[in-house]
Amino acid sequence: MLGWDSITATADRIASEVRADKVPDVLVGVLRGGAIPAVLLAHALGVRMVRAVEVLRTTADGVDAVKSAAPQVANAASLGDLTGADVLVVDDVAGSGDTVARTVELVRTAGAARVRTAIFVVNVDNWQRPQNPGQALTYIGAVADGWVVFPWERP
């Protein structure tokens, strides 16, 4: 379980790294879990344009919830037109890496010129991408060896 102090410290650290690499035009929170981290980063970076898209892999709430075979996308049109934008995709946790990879595809399809990712916690027990998380993701807040419960979730 992570507490708010840990989450805000992670947001501040990621924001500092992002700022050093150029503040993005738009933040995209991956719903549901990435919404709160996206807003925290938006405030820390002074970015007013925040969008959200629902890309889900888990089929229920709770520790070790069952996952669908592939990320399910709802309302990709909520991204709007991102033509030429520098976009930061934000999510609370990356397990297999499939959800963030699918979201990056959606953002590129919406026209983004540059796409970076910020993940608050990577669950390395579930990581399935060919490259390690540090190569596949732009900014990583922390690494965990199992399920993570965030303060906005019910344990």
What residue segments make up the domains of the chain, in order of their start?
4-144
CA distance linking residue 118 with residue 92, whole number of Å: 8
Residue 128's Cβ-count burial label (10 Å; 0-12, 13-18, 19+) is exposed
124 or 63, which is more confident? Answer: 124
Give 147's pLDDT tier (boundaries 50, 70, 90).
Answer: confident
Tokens of 28: 């995209």
What per-residue confidence (pLDDT) applies to 79? 95
pLDDT tens per residue, range 68-125:
566 667 888 899 999 999 999 999 999 888 889 999 999 999 999 999 999 999 998 8
User: Which one of 3.30.70.1230, 3.40.50.970, 3.40.50.720, 3.40.50.2020 gives the CATH number of domain 4-144?
Assistant: 3.40.50.2020
CA distance linking residue 51 with residue 55, whole number of Å: 13
pLDDT tens per residue, range 11-23:
999 999 999 999 9
Give 34's pLDDT tier (boundaries 50, 70, 90).
Answer: very high
What per-residue confidence (pLDDT) applies to 65? 59
Answering whether pTM is above 0.75, one says yes
pLDDT of 60 over the 60 cut: no
Give 55's pLDDT tier (boundaries 50, 70, 90).
Answer: confident
Q: Tokens 């990435």 sit at which residue?
A: 34
Average pLDDT score over the chain: 89
Helix axes 4-21, 35-45, angle to 10 degrees: 50
Sign of the dihedral through C-alpha 35, 99, 145, 133: negative
CB neighbour list of residue 14: distance below 8 Å, 6 or more residues apart? 41, 118, 120, 139, 141
